[in-house]
Amino acid sequence: MKKNDSNIKKAVKYLNNNDCIGLPTETVYGLAANAYSNKATKKIFSLKKRPINNPLIVHYYKVRDLKKDCETNVNFYKLYKAFCPGPITFILKLKKKSKISKNVTNKKNTLAIRFPSHTIARKLLKSINYPIAAPSANISESISPVSKKDVIDEFGNKIKFVLDGGRSKIGVESTIISLVKTPKILRLGGLSISALEKELKMKLRIYLSNNSKIKTPGSSKLHYSPGIPIRMNANMIKKDEAYLLIKKKLRQNKNYFYLSEKKNLMECCKNLYKTLRKIKKLGYKKIAVEKIPNQGFGLVINDRLIRASK
């Protein structure tokens, strides 16, 4: 516990100094910086090589802090009560008097916000008097990190400090819902759509495609990519391919990689990025993926793999 506290202190020092740090969350690790600082948020974009028109998610400790920057509404409170802190990001209207850096929003009048549940992320947010902008801590288009080691793999000594919070429990990004007008889903993620629909008592429209007028990098063509070709719906593998499976096969092979022993799709989500990273590190040049049911968390896995295979 003592060690955690001194690491949080260290992290705060870097953040106060407008530096970026690696931050564990329950979804994936973030590349964190002071969301009110132009200097700090500019560093996020250059480190990630992220296009400036891709806005960032801002992380808060409590609603009282959020209200300085955003307009809240009834749907927000319903979902906040049911699911926060947790793997859900809300798009809300930005207040005119907000101090959020223009770099974060790409000068939009809306803001993506989230309350992470990871204990270390919460401790850190509680220790500072500004919110934290934190996209996933990977170079743009590559696989999101789910451990301290993954973050170091991505950035090496380009970032000065990474807080260690163990493996990310959810292992994929947050679900994004826009609450600016009629609620709509902008990204599939760690919280299921059915849970959101149940709480809001309405059917939600989903806007993920590239045709969407709302530009989100999560909806850009290539994303979450291990940098090698991915072939979907493969019932057999070709020579030299790694085979990504959703359940353990009776016959094991050294190039078989299963995401869950018994086809638990939530567990598959958790293991997805870690396994893709492992396959790449082992030197495979191609990945074949077994057919994944397009339902529940299978939707999230298919979404990420299809984008990674573009």
Q: Please check whether residue 137 is in contact with residue 277, taking contact to mean a CB–CB distance below 8 angstroms.
A: no
Applying CB under 5 A, the residues found at the interface with Mg ion are 136
| DSSP code of residue 141 | T
Nearest to 276 by CA among 223, 216, 221: 223
Residue 105 or 275: the one with the smaller Cβ distance to ligand AMP is: 105
**If DSSP codes are grouped into helix, strand and coil, which group holds residue 83?**
helix
Q: In the complex, what is the shortest distance from the CB of residue 171 to ligand AMP, in angstroms, rounded to a whole number?
A: 13
Applying CB under 6 A, the residues found at the interface with ligand AMP are 54-55, 57, 91, 105, 108, 110-112, 135-136, 173, 176, 186-187, 214, 216-218
Q: Which residues is 93 bridged to in the sheet?
A: 110
Q: In the complex, what is the shortest distance from the CB of residue 189 to ligand AMP, in angstroms, rounded to a whole number?
A: 9
Q: Which does 55 bind (CB under 5 to 8 A by kind): ligand AMP, Mg ion, none?
A: ligand AMP
> What residue number has its CB nearest to Mg ion?
136
Q: In the complex, what is the shortest distance from the CB of residue 144 to Mg ion, in angstroms, rounded to a whole number?
A: 6
Q: In the complex, what is the shortest distance from the CB of residue 304 to Mg ion, in angstroms, rounded to a whole number?
A: 11
Nearest to 142 by CA among 273, 245, 20, 31: 273
Q: Which does 23 bind (CB under 5 to 8 A by kind): Mg ion, ligand AMP, none?
A: none
**If DSSP codes are grouped into helix, strand and coil, which group holds residue 3?**
helix
Radius of gyration of the chain (CA): 19
Q: Which does 112 bind (CB under 5 to 8 A by kind): ligand AMP, Mg ion, none?
A: ligand AMP
Q: Which does 186 bind (CB under 5 to 8 A by kind): Mg ion, ligand AMP, none?
A: ligand AMP
Q: In the complex, what is the shortest distance from the CB of residue 2 to Mg ion, in angstroms, rounded to a whole number?
A: 33
Residues 6+ apart with CB under 8 A from 167: 146, 147, 274
Residues 6+ apart with CB under 8 A from 295: none
Q: Locate tokens 């991505």: which residue?
A: 154
Residue 37 or 219: the one with the smaller Cβ distance to ligand AMP is: 219
Q: In the complex, what is the shortest distance from the CB of residue 1 to ligand AMP, in angstroms, rounded to a whole number?
A: 29
| 301/216 Cα distance (integer angstroms) | 18
Residue 30 or 131: the one with the smaller Cβ distance to Mg ion is: 30
Q: Which does 296 bind (CB under 5 to 8 A by kind): Mg ion, ligand AMP, none?
A: none
Nearest to 125 by CA among 4, 6, 11, 1: 11
Residue 105 or 271: the one with the smaller Cβ distance to ligand AMP is: 105
Residue 274 or 290: the one with the smaller Cβ distance to ligand AMP is: 274
- Which pair of structure tokens corresponds to residue 84? 């926060």
Residue 190 or 298: the one with the smaller Cβ distance to ligand AMP is: 190
| Residue 246, Cβ density class (10 Å: 0-12 exposed, 13-18 middle, ≥19 buried) | buried
